Homo-oligomer: A and B are copies of this chain.
Amino acid sequence: MTTAQLISEIKKKQSFLCIGLDVDLNKIPQYLLQEEDPIFAFNKAIIDATHHLCVAYKPNTAFYEAYGLKGWKALEKTINYLNDKHPEIFTIADAKRGDIGNTSSMYAKAFFEDLAFDSVTVAPYMGKDSVEPFLAFKDKHTILLALTSNQGAFDFQTKTVGDKELYKQVLETSKTWHNAENLMYVVGATKAEFLEDIRQIIPNSFLLVPGVGAQGGNLQDVCKYGMNANVGLLINSSRGIIYASNKEDFVNAAAEKAKDIQIVMQSILSSR
């Protein structure tokens, strides 16, 4: 999917919501465990009920790998279902990969070709040649970790390197990489005030913002400091939506939570 198509969907749906599909078998309605593939059954139900309210879905690979082969199969079925039934949806493999060049090429092949996601999250620690193999794919997007939403972000990311914090150094340096126009960035919502500085460095890039809801970030603040002329934001919510209920009404409960967020987004978009 091109960035222009994503922007067009955001305008059409009046939403820049991304729903995180982080499926924990201990948290889903327990009657689903009788299904042949409970993870996919849960994802399909969530997708069917919410796809008109969001523009992106983001399965975190950890939750699938934890269930081994069955988990990987459920991930494959989920991305295939999204690509078949909802090609207008932007898909994110939240995998936080990154390795030396020839190995990153294999990860890129895994997520862009074998699983056919539109984008993948990548860690910056190993530098340019660990990220560029992902950037080489046309109409695919590499979402680089910049400033994450967890407490550990303050261990290294906010430490000063030369004249600026490490995460700003990551943003600056990444702009010089080949095919940098295929970059988006992860910026945690728990640090909304940082977004003003971030927009000085990368005014035009899309930001994937986790941490609204469960992790305490505020949607209004994120939009105030982070939105650009093309919206430029994908706000992720995972647990707050998919685990709104663990009973038979989980589908409606998830749709209601997604609708609540979409309404706020619509109001923010129309008041610009």
Identify the A interface with B (CB < 8 A): 22, 24, 60, 62-63, 65-69, 71-73, 76, 94, 96-101, 103-104, 106-107, 109-111, 114-115, 123-131, 145, 148-157, 159-162, 166, 169-170, 173, 215
Instruction: Decide yes or no: A125 and B157 within 8 Å by CB, A96-B99, A106-B66, A115-B68 being known contacts.
Output: yes
A-B contact pairs, 6 of them (CB 8 A): A60-B103, A66-B109, A68-B76, A69-B73, A125-B156, A128-B155
Q: Could you tell me if A162 and B160 are in contact, using CB atoms closer than 8 angstroms?
A: yes
A173 touching B161 by the CB < 8 A rule? no
A94: chain B residues at CB < 8 Å are 99
Nearest opposing residue in chain B for A113, CB measure: B66
Contacts A100-B149, A159-B162 supplied; 20 other A-B pairs, CB < 8 Å:
A24-B106, A62-B103, A62-B110, A66-B110, A68-B110, A69-B73, A100-B148, A124-B155, A126-B150, A126-B153, A127-B155, A128-B152, A129-B150, A129-B151, A129-B152, A155-B173, A156-B166, A156-B170, A159-B166, A160-B162
**Chain B hits for A159, CB < 8 A:** 161-162, 166, 169
Query: Oligomeric state, in number of copies?
Result: 2
Q: How far is the CB of A20 from chain B (nearest CB, A)?
A: 10
A112 to chain B: closest CB distance in Å?
10
Alpha-carbon separation in the docked complex, A94 to B104 (Å): 12
A-B pairs, top 9 by smallest CB distance, nearest first, are A127-B152, A127-B155, A65-B110, A62-B106, A66-B106, A100-B150, A68-B114, A129-B152, A66-B109
How far is the CB of A170 from the nearest CB of chain B, in Å?
Answer: 7
Q: Contacting A150 at CB < 8 Å: which of B66, B123, B127, B145?
A: B127
**Identity of the chain B residue whose Cβ is nearest the Cβ of A63 in the assembled complex:** B106
CA distance A68 to B17 in the complex (A): 28
Give bound CA distance, A104 to B63, whole Å. 9
**In the complex, which of the residues A68, A126, A215 has the most CB atoms of chain B within 10 Å of its own CB atom?**
A126
Q: Do B66 and A107 touch (CB < 8 A)?
A: yes
The answer to whether A67 touches B114 (Cβ under 8 A) is yes
In the complex, the chain B residue whose C-beta lies closest to that of A150 is B100
Alpha-carbon separation in the docked complex, A193 to B114 (Å): 40
Q: Is the CB of B154 within 8 A of A127?
A: yes
A188 to chain B, nearest CB (A): 9
